[in-house]
Amino acid sequence: MIKLIDINDIIELKPMSLNTDVTKKLNFCIEEAQKYDVMPFLGDTLYILLETDFSNSPSLGEDIYADLFNGCDYVHGTRTFRHGGIKALLTYYAYSRYVQNSTVNASAFGLVEKINDHSNGVSKETLSRQIANATALAEAEKTKVDQFIRYNISDYPTWCYAGKTTAAPSGIKINAIGGSRIKMGSSYRCRGCGHYRCLCNFI
């Protein structure tokens, strides 16, 4: 699998001290983020098209893939939007995966936690907050890219999410308002196509 970003992209986002162990972990975190975060989001077909264009030219020869990967400002209707692209999304996901694995090492005796004599490790609570923050940033970038593709779906007809809907949660949601319980539907169908989540909702 071709790496769409490298360690320098992560360092620009989150400055860190590099050594052999960190470099190795960052490399496999990038690969896992591409394989398990980005590819499922784009779908195999669109991902392969993007990767192929990237492998032919790291600056991306086709504008539609450059806009998707690097991010851009774009206009929809009367409003202007900005998204950070697959590159930003991938960088945050890779960093999130690195943080999750930063204190654990595989050894001949199983998984071990490395303790440095010259520094103190962060608490589990602090580590959890760092992981949650990195993941939240990745999800925020994903939402922006999702919107960009939906608004420009004619350029990305192979996007796997384009024809899918999300299943409605079962049951009802109870909210207590002013001391009384009000039943609220957990999801609402689109009046246009009848699906719970669709392209109509974004136009």
**Mind listing the pLDDT tens digit for each residue in 5-19?**
999 999 888 877 777
pLDDT of residue 50: 93
pLDDT at 93 over 90: yes
What contacts 7, CB < 8 A, 6 or more positions away?
18, 23, 26, 27, 30
Between 113 and 71, the more confident residue is 71
Q: Nearest 5 degrees, angle CA 186-CA 36-CA 149?
A: 60
Between 57 and 183, the more confident residue is 57
Point out which residues pair with 181 in neighbouring strands: 176
Between 53 and 185, the more confident residue is 53
pTM (whole model) above 0.75: no
Q: Quickly state the pLDDT bin for 60 (edges 50, 70, 90).
A: confident
CB-CB contact of 76 with 151 (8 Å): yes
- pLDDT average, residue stretch 17-32: 83
pLDDT at 36 over 50: yes
Tell me how far apart the alpha carbons of residues 113 and 104 are, in angstroms, rounded to a whole number: 5
